[in-house]
Structure 1
């Protein structure tokens, strides 16, 4: 019979949650809000409710161990786009509304930063698509760079025109 081992008891890490602020001068970023650190450490991570600002984004919402997690509002300062809704481990996940600077918007389900599930997309002209979206695209829509969608019929027409111009030697 093998000898009995003494049970090795793992030492539990103790965290301290506090409010605070930091400035990251190299990236011109700053944060104000909830922080978490190990009792014996000076390293802190964003945790709880807080606001993060950099030259490209502004996030006001929930954090979990240095990731956007929970509910929040993310503004893309360089494009003017805005997302309000749920996050999971730093990505759009759950329900939320994304509004492009152009005026187009999507309200509904998200998975891994993509429109996925039931939702409503409204284009810049006010035309509305309701239905089930899959992996970033929905009924009758084709995704383009920057998240802008076009009707599949319009895309087909543009492709046909481009092929005709290429065939004619114009392109």
Structure 2
């Protein structure tokens, strides 16, 4: 089960939603500040609106992952930081549970991508730095791959050209 699917458990109607301590509205829905422990062992501490996570909050997954950021209508939306169980970290913008907009992803091996995201993939302008080799790509990304104009830079030399689906195609 993905981390996103685990979060959705709290939203299902007609099922046990776990333990909850906090504000409620006139329909007895979670509303305002509250703390919840879900049936799957995950925990949420933050704001609710009409039964859904909405506003700032911290969601802790039982697998060690953690999201600290904004929610809208029960989904990660706005500025937030996600700490993955493997040690990698994404800090940036979210739209409906997807990395979308400007963000920085630090991979467990030390590689770093800073730039634009769309639907959880590197997409648009961005810079990827390979920690081990100090090699850096700055340019256009499409659906997670180098695609379009870019520069591959190392200490002593630079390749300037075009990329297609992650492969060099032509020099400038």
Superposed, 1:17-166 pairs within 5 Å as: 17-24=31-38, 26-37=39-50, 44-56=51-63, 57-77=65-85, 79-125=86-132, 126-138=134-146, 152=167
With over 3 angstroms needed to count, the CA separation of the structure-2 counterparts of 1:16 and 1:27, relative to structure 1, is closer
Q: Which has the larger radius of gyration?
A: 1
**Bigger share in helix:** 1
**Residues matched between the structures, number:** 122
Q: TM-score, normalised by structure 1?
A: 0.66
In the alignment, structure 2 segments of 5+ residues that lack a partner are 1-26, 151-165
Give, in angstroms, the shift of residue 74 of structure 1: 0.3
**Which stretch of structure 1 is more off in the superposition, 61-70 or 48-57?**
48-57
Q: TM-score, normalised by structure 2?
A: 0.66
Q: Once the two structures are superposed, what CA deviation does each residue of 1:47-98 show, in whole Å capped at 9, x if it has no partner?
A: 1100000123200000001100000000111x11110000000000000001
Rounded Cα–Cα distance in structure 1 between residues aligned with 2:142 and 2:106: 18
In the alignment, structure 1 segments of 5+ residues that lack a partner are 1-13, 38-43, 141-150, 154-171
